[in-house]
C-alpha cells in the first residue's frame, strides 16, 4: 500500500537553490510580477485546504519562518495582484482562503 504525504509548499520552495521563480505557471503565463515570497505564499495557499480548514496567520508565519505581519502583507498583496485567482471570505467566525 502506497501512502502519500502532503507537501508543504512553504518548505518546498525554499529548496530551489537557483532562486528560479518561473515554476509557477497558469494558462501558460508566468506570474513574474510577484515577489519570491508572494509566489511561495500563493502556491502554499493553492495547495492547502483553507476553504474547509480555517486560515491561521500564526501557522502560516511559522511555516514560512517569518512574522505574522509579513503574512498579512503578502496576502493583501496577492489580493491586489491576483484578484481573480484568490478569494478570502469569513464564515462561522473564521477566515477562509481559496486560490487557483
User: Facing residues of 99 across strands?
Assistant: 86
What's the domain range around 57?
34-99
Rounded to an integer, what distance in angstroms lies between the CA atom of residue 91 and that of residue 12?
A: 30
9-30 residue pLDDT tens: 444 444 444 444 444 444 334 4
What is the per-residue pLDDT for 50? 87
43-92 residue pLDDT tens: 999 998 888 889 999 999 999 999 999 999 999 999 999 998 999 999 98
Task: Kindly state whether residue 13 falls inside one of the protein's structural domains.
Answer: no
What single-letter DSSP state applies at residue 5?
Answer: P
Task: Kindly state whether residue 76 falls inside one of the protein's structural domains.
Answer: yes
Question: Which of the four pLDDT bands, split at 50, 70 and 90, describes residue 2?
Answer: very low
CATH number at residue 57: 1.10.10.10
Maximum alpha-carbon separation in the chain: 44
Residues 6+ apart with CB under 8 A from 65: none
- Kindly report the pTM of this predicted structure: 0.69
Q: How large is the average pLDDT for residues 36-45?
A: 93
E strand map for the chain: 25-26, 29-30, 86-91, 94-99
Rounded to an integer, what distance in angstroms lies between the CA atom of residue 73 and that of residue 23?
A: 23
What is the per-residue pLDDT for 32? 63
Task: Kindly state whether residue 2 falls inside one of the protein's structural domains.
Answer: no
Amino acid at each position: 500500500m502506497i501512502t502519500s504525504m502532503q507537501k508543504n509548499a512553504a518548505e518546498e520552495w525554499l529548496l530551489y537553490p537557483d532562486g528560479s521563480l518561473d515554476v509557477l505557471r497558469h494558462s501558460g503565463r508566468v506570474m513574474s510580477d510577484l515577489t519570491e515570497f508572494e509566489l511561495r505564499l500563493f502556491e502554499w495557499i493553492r495547495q492547502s485546504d483553507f476553504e474547509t480548514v480555517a486560515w491561521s496567520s500564526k501557522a502560516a508565519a511559522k511555516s514560512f519562518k517569518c512574522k505574522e505581519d509579513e503574512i498579512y502583507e503578502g496576502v493583501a498583496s496577492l489580493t491586489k495582484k491576483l484578484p481573480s485567482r484568490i478569494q478570502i471570505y469569513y464564515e462561522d467566525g473564521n477566515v477562509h482562503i481559496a486560490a487557483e
